[in-house]
A and B are shown apart, each in its own frame.
Chain A
Amino acid sequence: AQSVTQLDSQVPVFEEAPVELRCNYSSSVSVYLFWYVQYPNQGLQLLLKYLSGSTLVKGINGFEAEFNKSQTSFHLRKPSVHISDTAEYFCAVSENTNAGKSTFGDGTTLTVKP
């Protein structure tokens, strides 16, 4: 069975600083990996996804993530954050034998301060 651990529940950062949100996963088969963002009082929306190929994937709003198979990690990064990036971020994994049913991490609340 797959599982996901988001290593930080809250990440405060100042505007224009870089940020990294950490995600580790475990699975016995090949996986697909996702990051979702949830703005206050909204549903989740896809930020980026890793399916195969290049281990560095770029998403919306200047975010990127790197798949590291040996460390079973999929950390999310942004070189310079904005106030509008304040949101909750979820890492998710699904096994490529039955993609669609994903396991979600507990979420990381990113707070960007002026």
Chain B
Amino acid sequence: NAGVTQTPKFQVLKTGQSMTLQCAQDMNHNSMYWYRQDPGMGLRLIYYSASEGTTDKGEVPNGYNVSRLNKREFSLRLESAAPSQTSVYFCASSVSGRGVEGEQYFGPGTRLTVT
């Protein structure tokens, strides 16, 4: 099994450009997440999807949109990139719900630089 895959691995954008980060999981998990990781700030949740067809804002949603295309795929879109969005982005997935174990499985990350 591939687990959680993310594309691209690296990306450089100019301010104002748009792009979509792709994420897919093959573990039949119902929940998926997008985080950003910045030095000294740990992981911050951007958006999550508890199940196919639902999405919710996390801690830092401004400047981002998401699409849960199907159970496997969860994409993150930057409509107009800003230098403050320079970061490493991680996608994760988990089983979720009452009484389940709920650990998250992470992709390898996308390193995004906005100039």
A43→B106 contact, CB < 8 A: yes
With an 8 A cutoff between CB atoms, is A96 at the interface? yes
B94→A96 contact, CB < 8 A: no
How many Å lie between the Cα of A92 and that of B35 in the bound state? 14
Chain B residues contacting A98 (CB-CB under 8 Å) are 96-98
With an 8 A cutoff between CB atoms, is B69 at the interface? no
B108→A99 contact, CB < 8 A: no
Q: How far is the CB of A97 from chain B (nearest CB, A)?
A: 6
0/1 string, B51-89, CB within 8 A of A gives 1: 000000000000000000000000000000000000000
A99→B42 contact, CB < 8 A: no
Chain A residues contacting B98 (CB-CB under 8 Å) are 96-99
Tell me whether chain B's interface is mostly helix, strand or loop, or mixed: loop
Give me 17 A-to-B residue pairs in the complex whose CB atoms sit less than 8 angstroms apart, sorted by A's number. A32-B102, A43-B90, A43-B109, A44-B104, A46-B105, A51-B101, A90-B43, A94-B102, A96-B98, A98-B96, A98-B98, A99-B97, A99-B100, A99-B102, A100-B97, A105-B42, A107-B43
With an 8 A cutoff between CB atoms, is A106 at the interface? yes
Chain B residues contacting A9 (CB-CB under 8 Å) are 40
Bin the interface of chain B by size: 20 to 34
Using A32-B102, A44-B90 as known contacts, say yes or no to A90 and B96 having CB atoms under 8 A apart: no
With an 8 A cutoff between CB atoms, is A42 at the interface? yes
Number of interface residues, chain A, beta carbon within 8 A: 26
B106→A100 contact, CB < 8 A: no
B102→A43 contact, CB < 8 A: no
